[in-house]
A = this chain, B = another copy of it.
Amino acid sequence: MHQPKHLQDAGLKSTLPRLKVLELLENVEDRHLTAEAIYRKLLEAGEEIGLATVYRALTQFEAAGLVTRHHFEGGQAVFELERGLHHDHIVCVHCGRVEEFYDKVIEKRQQSIAEKLGYTLRDHNMTLYGECHGPDCPGQKKKGPAAG
């Protein structure tokens, strides 16, 4: 339970819907959520909020640096609470599980590639897609004890 007074510091008026979205992002287990998932979870928690407001709040949080938006495969953007530590992602193509990683060698190489090509690097998107081998992942063909 953090105390999300961050809003005023970020130049945003502290309103109830915004606090609800921020609180959810701070306390939910899965860091990477679509706007609709956030909306649904708030409704399930008995909160009264509109989807448009969730989108607006997330966009404002992003502009304020409180939240990061990612575009993985599959239409919907996902949002995560910013923790100040840059990282990239690997996503399971079967179950959608997301892991984070940071690789200094890659980051440096990206920088020097940009320079070599005459660009000033401003940002990058690196997402790996693979098959996780978690027991709950539908990508794991379950070998029954007898051949079937």
- Which A residues contact B (CB, under 8 angstroms)? 71, 90, 92-93, 99, 101, 103, 105-106, 109-110, 113-114, 117-134
Q: Which 6 A-B pairs have the closest CB atoms?
A: A119-B130, A123-B129, A121-B130, A126-B126, A120-B131, A124-B128
A interface, over-half SS: strand
Query: How many copies make up the complex?
Result: 2
When the two chains form their complex, are residues A124 and B127 in contact, meaning their CB atoms are under 8 A apart?
Answer: yes
Q: A90-B113, A113-B101 are in contact. Are A120 and B125 (CB under 8 A)?
A: no
Give Cα distance in the complex from A61 to B41, angstroms. 40
When the two chains form their complex, are residues A131 and B119 in contact, meaning their CB atoms are under 8 A apart?
Answer: yes
Q: A103-B113, A106-B109 are in contact. Are A130 and B125 (CB under 8 A)?
A: no
Shortest Cβ distance from A127 into B: residue: B125
User: How many whole Å from A108's CB to the nearest CB in chain B?
Assistant: 10
User: How many whole Å from A132's CB to the nearest CB in chain B?
Assistant: 5
When the two chains form their complex, are residues B132 and A128 in contact, meaning their CB atoms are under 8 A apart?
Answer: no
Give Cα distance in the complex from A118 to B92, angstroms. 10
Most-contacted residue by chain B among A93, A113, A121, A133 (CB, 10 A): A113
Which residues of chain B are within 8 angstroms of A133 by Cβ–Cβ distance?
118-120
Give Cα distance in the complex from A126 to B90, angstroms. 12
Q: Add 15 more A-B contacts to A90-B117, A93-B123 (CB < 8 A).
A: A90-B119, A92-B119, A105-B105, A106-B110, A114-B130, A118-B134, A119-B128, A119-B131, A121-B130, A122-B130, A123-B128, A123-B130, A125-B125, A125-B129, A126-B126
